[in-house]
């Protein structure tokens, strides 16, 4: 373990990539991700990595280049945000279907329009049905740790699927925080060597990648992705256990905070989790039985783990930094499906917040707790909006 340093989230990801030294990185700049690829370009320019770095002419091409490189037999990483992720959308599905274990940092930023560079989770939510795993980090340390764990989870033979390592735009990407890095050897040993499966560059054993699949096969190929998503839950758990052994930092798919004896629980992802715990502590000091759940792995959704944390609670508030106009927001929907077979399920409300980078103030979360404790509030609420 090296000396703790002060560093922003984007730099932390670039440092993790440097330690892992992917064979190929292809990317296209977009705020608030750009620091990652700029920093990594420096590593390439100074010969600090073996990576072939490709400056794509668009995000669609960037991800396509990653797919080509991964199919060829390379370990690959990329990064994007917002419009860039939206521009990749077609290729997200192709990447997962072709079983390419590519790691992509997503610096969560809202989608146009109106154009806005600030944080929310709308961009990542557009990829939630694509067959990518999605890890959300709460702070700079988690952005770094999630990146290292992601390579191992994605490349596991039971998974072989791509992973988005999500971090809140500006709030984590640009904020200076304390980071404890692992030493290079620990990271290299943890991730292990890349093991290609039927690479294109094995010219003696020609493989056809990306064929046409008609109705007689398409469904089965899709189902294989589903089966690997199921397996990924266990692989991710095991990876987090192993990571604790080398780092001393123990993570879970979904993490409860003071939930054991709580009656009222708030659920969120990303940087909001820290604010949530702060508010929980304040209300606990007043004798309120409240707790919090942070969802780290959003895809595959750890439904059983979430259900366990919410079992026996009176009410739950699900905080969504994204919206789905016309219905409930993504995290809310997944929490609902997790508890749908529960005998006496809690009353669950959805709170949309923080869109387009709107600040979240602790007092607002206190109000949400007060609302659900009073059995008040709509099913779906739009926190702080001027109607």
Partner 1 sequence: MNLKELSHTEERLVEGHRLCAGCAEPIIARQVLMGTSKPVVVANATGCFEVSTSNYPFTSWNVPWIHTAFENAPATISGVEAAYNSLKRQNKISEEVKFVVFGGDGATYDIGFQSLSGAIERGHDFLYVCFNNEAYMNTGIQRSGATPKGASTTTCPSGTCTPGKKEFPKDLTRIIIAHDLPYAAQASPHNWKDLIEKSRKGIDTPGPAFINVISPCPRGWRHDGSQTIALSKLAVETCVWPLYEYENGEWRVTGESLRIAEGKKEKRPVMDWLNSQGRFKQLTKSKFSPVADEIQQNVDKKWESLLKLCHM
Q: Least separation, in Å, of the C-beta of 34 and partner 1?
A: 19
Q: Nearest distance from residue 53's CB to partner 1, in Å?
A: 8
Q: Is 91 in the site for partner 1 (CB under 8 A)?
A: yes
Q: CA-CA distances (angstroms) from residue 374 to 176, 276, 313, 363, 369?
A: 38, 19, 14, 16, 9
Q: Decide if 245 contacts 296 (C-beta within 8 A).
A: no
CB 69, min distance to partner 1, A = 4
Please choose, out of 22-30, 105-113, 148-156, 303-311, the segment that lies near partner 1 by the rule CB under 8 A.
22-30
Cβ-contact 253, 232 below 8 angstroms = no
- Piece in contact with partner 1 (CB under 8 A), picked from 3-11, 108-116, 204-212, 333-341: 204-212
Residue 52 is a binding residue for partner 1 (CB under 8 A): yes
Which of 42, 57, 183, 184 binds partner 1 (CB under 8 A)? It is 57
- Tell me if 374 contacts partner 1 by CB under 8 A: no
Q: What are phi and psi of 246, to 5 degrees?
A: -90, -20
Interface residue with partner 1 among 19, 33, 70, 122 (CB under 8 A) is 70
Q: Any contact of residue 192 with partner 1 (CB under 8 A)?
A: no
Is the Cβ of residue 209 or residue 278 nearer to partner 1 in the bound state?
Answer: 209
359 scored as a contact of partner 1 (CB under 8 A): no
CA angle 68–69–74, rounded 5-degree value: 150
Count, residues in the chain: 387
**3-state class (DSSP) for residue 231:** helix
Q: Find the binder of partner 1 among 3, 46, 114, 208 (CB under 8 A).
A: 208
Rounded to the nearest 10°, the torsion over CA 162, 163, 169, 175 is -130
d(C-alpha 355, C-alpha 142), whole Å: 22
Q: Is 177 in the site for partner 1 (CB under 8 A)?
A: no
- 382 near partner 1 (CB under 8 A): no
Listed in sequence order, the residues at least 6 apart from 230 whose beta carbon sits closer than 8 Å to its beta carbon are 300
Q: Residue 135: beta bridge partners? A: 165, 297
Q: Considering only CA atoms, which of 102, 73, 100 is closest in space to residue 196?
A: 73
Rounded to an integer, what distance in angstroms lies between the CA atom of residue 287 and that of residue 12? 38
CA 81 to chain centre: 12
User: Least separation, in Å, of the C-beta of 18 and partner 1?
Assistant: 15
Determine contact, residues 302/254, Cβ cutoff 8 Å. Answer: yes
| For partner 1, the closer CB: 201 or 374 | 201
Looking at 14, 20, 65, 303, which residue binds partner 1 (CB under 8 A)?
Answer: 65
At residue 90's C-alpha, the angle toward residues 85 and 96, to 5°, is: 90
Rule CB under 8 A: choose which of 55, 175, 246, 336 binds partner 1.
55
Size of the site for partner 1 (CB under 8 A): 45
Least Å distance, CB 45 to partner 1, is: 15
Write the binding mask 210 to 249 for partner 1: x where contact by CB under 8 A, - elsewhere: xxxxx--x---x----------------------------
In the complex with partner 1, which residue's Cβ is closer, 201 or 285? 201
**Positions that interact with partner 1 (CB under 8 A):** 23-24, 26, 50-52, 54-58, 60-62, 64-74, 76, 90-91, 94, 98, 200-203, 206-214, 217, 221
């Amino acid at each position: 373990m090296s000396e703790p340093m002060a560093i922003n989230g984007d730099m932390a990801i670039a440092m993790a990539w440097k330690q892992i030294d992917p064979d190929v990185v292809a990317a296209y700049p977009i705020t608030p991700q750009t620091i990652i690829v700029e920093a990594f370009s420096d590593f390439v320019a100074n010969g600090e990595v073996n990576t072939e770095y490709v400056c794509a002419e668009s995000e669609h091409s960037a991800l396509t280049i990653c797919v080509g490189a991964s199919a060829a037999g390379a370990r690959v990483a990329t990064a994007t945000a917002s419009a860039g992720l939206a521009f990749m959308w077609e290729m997200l599905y192709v990447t997962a279907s072709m079983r390419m274990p590519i790691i992509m940092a997503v610096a969560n930023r809202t989608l146009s329009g109106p154009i806005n560079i600030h944080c929310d989770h709308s961009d990542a939510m557009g990829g939630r049905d694509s067959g990518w795993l999605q890890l959300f980090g709460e702070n700079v340390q988690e952005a770094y740790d999630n990146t290292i764990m992601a390579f191992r989870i994605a490349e596991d033979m039971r998974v072989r699927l791509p992973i988005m390592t999500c971090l809140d735009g500006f709030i984590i990407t640009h904020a200076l925080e304390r980071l404890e890095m692992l030493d290079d050897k620990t990271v290299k040993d943890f991730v292990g060597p890349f093991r290609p499966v039927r690479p294109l560059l094995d010219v003696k054993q020609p493989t056809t990648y990306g064929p046409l699949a008609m109705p007689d096969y398409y469904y089965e190929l899709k189902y294989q992705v589903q089966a690997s998503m199921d397996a990924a839950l266990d692989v991710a758990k095991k990876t987090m256990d192993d990571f604790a052994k080398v780092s001393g930092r123990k993570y879970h798919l979904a993490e409860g905070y003071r939930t054991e004896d709580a009656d009222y629980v708030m659920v969120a992802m990303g940087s909001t989790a820290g604010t949530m715990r702060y508010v929980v502590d304040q209300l606990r000091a007043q004798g309120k039985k409240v707790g919090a759940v942070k969802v780290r792995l959003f895809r595959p959704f750890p439904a059983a783990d979430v259900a366990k944390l919410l079992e026996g609670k009176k009410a739950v508030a699900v905080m969504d930094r994204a919206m789905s106009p016309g219905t409930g927001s993504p995290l809310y929907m997944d929490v609902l499906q997790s508890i749908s077979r529960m005998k006496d399920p809690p009353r669950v409300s959805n709170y949309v917040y923080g869109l387009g980078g709107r600040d979240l103030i602790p007092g607002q979360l206190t109000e949400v707790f007060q609302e659900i404790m009073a059995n008040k509030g709509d099913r779906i609420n739009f926190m702080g909006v001027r109607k």
